[in-house]
Amino acid sequence: MTPVIELDGLGVTFGKRRILRDLRGALSGRAIGLLGPNGAGKTTLIHTLLGFYEPSAGTARIFGQDISREAKAVRAQVGYMPERDSFIAKMSCVHFVRLMAELSGIPSDAALERAHEALFYVGLGEARYRNIETYSLGMKQLAKLAQAIVHGPKLIVLDEPTNGLDPPTRQRMINLIREIRDTGRARILLSSHLLRDVEECCDEILVLKDGWIAANCNLEEERKANRKFIELETRGGDRASFAEAIGRLGCEYALSGERRIKLVMQEGIEIGDLYKLASERDVQIRRLNYKRDSLEDIFLKAMEGEEGGFAMGANAAGAAAAKGRGGNGSLRA
């Protein structure tokens, strides 16, 4: 299966400043989350994929088509919802979306029909003849989504789609994104500073840091693979001795509060081994929970990584989770 996006040594330089540095990897998810702190290069990557900027090194491909050599073909199959408004004054929404469809190569009559369909789909059917400047912020965001999908693209690039939305409108936007993902109408590249949005919509993430790839992983596979992070609630006995014994098994652990121990299990260690150690020290294990990494755990681990990037592994992410959630933050092995 052809990846949605392939990054082949992609680099972008503005003047003497390197913005993107040797990005490499293949992204194949139904919905790909693009994350990173301000200045990480997210918007530059999007604009380069769309052909707004020329790569200074390497290239990228969208559905196997080179973004430089086949730029026109790439743009024909990509829809783009920008972060900032870019509407035309004194124009009704339906005519604006129709114009965007025509610019994408759709004949005028068909473009008008598509515009009506797209606006009804996003929930703006009754307001489609109003001038866009009369729209609320939420309505403008939905109008931007409508113009991004009107020509039936294979990939929809969404840049901060929920920015500034109130909770009901945000949920409507999230539901639309998930519906597009689940029905297979198009693949999605979602750039957002809100981890919650990405976690709700995306099955793969790409994290940028200082222009490098800090992490690239499939969220579902990552969560399924990491069944080794465990939280214990204990009572009585010598908890400190119990924790040290866990460490001698080769497990990383963190003490949390007066009763909890968080640990990352190693290969060959079974739950029964923990109960045996507890029994030897008169420690009662009152509760045992498996914990899966949240997107926040994965993101924080990526921010701690070295330049040059890595593919997140389950054990590494689990250790980060233990460290991030531990009461005193100390990990021992």
Q: What is the DSSP string of 255-313?
A: EETTTEEEEEPPTT--HHHHHHHHHHTT-EEEEEEE-PPPHHHHHHHHHHSPTT-----
Domain with CATH 3.40.50.300 in the chain: 5-219
Do 146 and 119 contact (CB within 8 A), yes or no? yes
> What is the DSSP code string of 32-97?
EEEE--TTSSHHHHHHHHTTSS--SEEEEEETTEETTTTHHHHHHTEEEE-SS----TT-BHHHHH
**In what order do the strands lie in the sheet containing 252-256?**
252-256, 260-264, 229-235, 284-290
Q: SS3 for 161?
A: coil
Residue closest to 270 by CA, chosen among 297, 305, 246, 300: 246
What residues form DSSP beta bridges with 80? 157
Q: What is the pLDDT of residue 225?
A: 61
Structure-token match 């990480």, residue found: 40
Structure-token match 């498996």, residue found: 290
DSSP code of residue 131:
B
Tell me the CATH number of domain 226-325, given options 2.30.40.10, 3.40.50.10490, 3.40.50.300, 3.30.70.100: 3.30.70.100
Domain with CATH 3.30.70.100 in the chain: 226-325
pTM: 0.75
Question: Which helix H or strand E contains 195, and what residues bound it?
Answer: helix 195-201
Structure-token match 């199959």, residue found: 77
Residue closest to 252 by CA, chosen among 173, 162, 318: 318
Q: What is the pLDDT of residue 311?
A: 46
pLDDT tens, N- to C-terminus, the chain (333 residues): 789 999 999 999 999 999 999 999 999 999 999 999 988 999 999 999 999 999 999 999 999 999 999 999 999 999 999 999 989 999 999 999 999 999 999 999 999 999 999 999 999 999 999 999 999 999 999 999 999 999 999 999 999 999 889 999 999 999 999 999 999 999 999 999 889 999 999 999 999 999 999 999 888 777 666 556 888 999 988 888 999 999 998 888 888 878 889 888 877 888 899 999 999 999 999 988 876 667 877 788 888 765 554 444 433 344 344 444 333 333 333
Task: Give domain 5-219's CATH superfamily.
Answer: P-loop containing nucleotide triphosphate hydrolases (3.40.50.300)
Q: Are strands 31-35 and 187-191 parallel, antiparallel or unpaired?
A: parallel
Query: For residue 105, is it left (φ>0), alpha (ψ between -120 and 50) or beta?
Result: left
Other CB atoms within 10 A of residue 212 CB? 20
